[in-house]
Structure 1
C-alpha cells in the first residue's frame, strides 16, 4: 500500500473510534493490503494516540488458539498495543459507549521486571523477565462492521483491542504451572466458557517469547513495567450493558469487569 493509503486507512479507523460507526472491511477496500501494511496502519494510529497525550503501556497478543488460526488461515499470532487509556480498574463500571461491538476474553497478564529484546528470545528468557502475573480480562472490540475481519483487518485495527482489566493480587510465576492453570469465565454468575493455559500456544510463556521476537525484528523491545496480555484461554463472548463478567483462575485469583448501562459520571 502507498503511504497515502496507509494514512487513509488509519484515519478511517480513528473516525470509527470517534463516531462509534463501524467501517467496511479494509481487506475489501484495499484488497492488495498485506500483513506488513496492516501493522503500518496500526502504528499510524498508535502514533496519533501518543501524540495526543496517551502512552503505550504494553501489548496484547491475539490469535493464539489453533482453532482460531485455522479459521483465519494464519500460522502465527498477532499483536496490538495497549495504551494507558485502555486500562480500567477492577469492580468499577466501564462505560458501554466506549465500545462498538464488545466481546470479552479471560487472559493471564504478565508484568515485566526485565527487558526482553528479540530476536532470539527463548521461552526461558521470557519466564525470567516476568516480575509477576495477574488474572486479566480483555474487552476486544472491532471497528470493522459485523466483525467481518481477516488477519489484515484485525491487525490494522490494533488487533481488535478495546480495554484491559487486571486483577489486584500479584502472583510469582514460579508458583504456577501455567499450562495446567484452569479458567472459568462467568457472565452474570453463570459459567459460559472454561479452558486452560495450554490453549495459549501450549503455555503463555510461548506467547510472550513470540511477541518479544516479533517486535524485536522491528527494533522494538519490551520494557520493565510493561503489561502483556498473553492471549485468550477461552472463546470470546459477547457482552452487553449491565453485564458483570468474572474470570476465575484457581491458584492465581479472579478478576471482575462490569459494563455500565450508562456513563457512570
Structure 2
C-alpha cells in the first residue's frame, strides 16, 4: 500500500474518531493490507490527534488474553499509542457523547509507569522490570471505529488498537513487591461481580506482554520513554458499557480502580 493510501485511511479513522461514527472494515476494502500498512495508518491517525493539540503519553498492547482473542476472533496482540486526552482520573465520570465513544467495552488490566527508556528489539522481562517505576490497576475503555467490531488484526492495529480512554487507580506499587502473574483481579459492574482473572492471562506474565510490545515497536523505530504509561492487556473478557454503568475492579496487591459512564 502506498503512502497516500495509508494517509487516506488514517484520515478516515481520525474523522470517525472525532465524529463518533464508525466505518466499514479496512480489510474488506484492501485484501492485501499488511500489519506494517496498518501500523502506518494508525501512526497517521495519531499524528492527526497530536496536530490537534493532544500529546502521546504512552503505548498499549491489546488482544493479549485468550478470552479477548476468542471474543473478537483476533488471535494475535495489537498495539498502539495512548494520549493525554484519553487519560481519566480514578473514579471520574466519563461522558460517552463528549468522548465520541461509539461501542465502548471496559477491560481490566495492569498499567506500567516507566522510569527509564526501553528500546527494542532484544528487550527482556527483566529489562522491563528494571525500567518500571510502578504499576497500577487500570480500566481501559476500548472502542472500535469499525462497524460492529467486525475486525481483523489489520483493522484494530489501523484503529490505534481500538483504544478509547483509560483510567488509572490511585495506588502506585513497586512491581518487585508482588507476583504479577499470580495477581488476582475481580471486576464489578453496577455492584455485581462479573469476571475474574490473573496476571498470567496476558502472555503468561504482564512483563512478557510489555517486552513483546517494546520489541514490536522497536522494529518500527519507536522507543518506550521514561515517564510513559504502558497498558499491558486485559486479564478478563471485555464488558460492553453504556451511560449509567459503574465499573470497579480490584487487583490483589495493587488496589482498586473505578469509573462511571455518563451521557
The counterpart of 2:119, out of the listed 102, 117, 120, is 117
The counterpart of 1:190, out of the listed 189, 192, 215, is 192
**Structure 2 unaligned blocks of 5 or more:** none
**CA deviation after TM superposition for structure 1 residue 41, in Å:** 0.3
Structure 1 equivalent of residue 235 of structure 2: 233
CA contact (8 A) 1:72 1:151 kept: no
Structure 2 equivalent of residue 36 of structure 1: 36
**CA deviation after TM superposition for structure 1 residue 232, in Å:** 0.1
Structure 2 equivalent of residue 216 of structure 1: 218
CA contact (8 A) 1:242 1:260 kept: yes
User: Counterparts of 1:72 and 1:236 in 2: how far apart (Å)?
Assistant: 13
CA contact (8 A) 1:119 1:217 kept: yes
Residue-by-residue CA offset, 1:150-177 (whole Å, 9 max, x unaligned): 1011000000000010011110111110
User: Counterparts of 2:171 and 2:17 in 1: how far apart (Å)?
Assistant: 32
Does 181-190 or 16-25 show the bigger shift? 16-25
Counterparts in 2 of 1:67 and 1:249: CA distance versus 1, 3 Å:
closer
User: Counterparts of 2:60 and 2:230 in 1: how far apart (Å)?
Assistant: 6
**What TM-score comes out, normalization by structure 2 length?**
0.95
Structure 2 equivalent of residue 260 of structure 1: 262
Structure 2 equivalent of residue 242 of structure 1: 244
C-alpha root-mean-square deviation of aligned residues, in Å? 1.3
Alignment of 1:161-200 (within 5 A): 161-200=163-202
**CA deviation after TM superposition for structure 1 residue 11, in Å:** 1.5
Counterparts in 2 of 1:182 and 1:123: CA distance versus 1, 3 Å:
same
Residue-by-residue CA offset, 1:28-63 (whole Å, 9 max, x unaligned): 122221111100100101111112221110011012
User: Counterparts of 2:165 and 2:23 in 1: how far apart (Å)?
Assistant: 20
| SS of 1:178 mapped into structure 2 | coil
Structure 1 stretches (4+) deviating beyond 2 angstroms?
A: 66-74
**CA deviation after TM superposition for structure 1 residue 20, in Å:** 1.5
User: Counterparts of 2:148 and 2:244 in 1: how far apart (Å)?
Assistant: 21
User: Counterparts of 1:139 and 1:198 in 2: how far apart (Å)?
Assistant: 21
User: Counterparts of 2:66 and 2:108 in 1: how far apart (Å)?
Assistant: 17
CA contact (8 A) 2:96 2:262 kept: yes
| SS of 1:230 mapped into structure 2 | strand
**CA deviation after TM superposition for structure 1 residue 18, in Å:** 2.1
The counterpart of 2:109, out of the listed 102, 107, 110, is 107
CA contact (8 A) 2:201 2:235 kept: yes
**CA deviation after TM superposition for structure 1 residue 69, in Å:** 4.5
Counterparts in 2 of 1:73 and 1:134: CA distance versus 1, 3 Å:
closer
Counterparts in 2 of 1:137 and 1:153: CA distance versus 1, 3 Å:
same
User: Counterparts of 1:220 and 1:56 in 2: how far apart (Å)?
Assistant: 12
**CA deviation after TM superposition for structure 1 residue 66, in Å:** 3.4
Does 3-12 or 149-158 show the bigger shift? 3-12
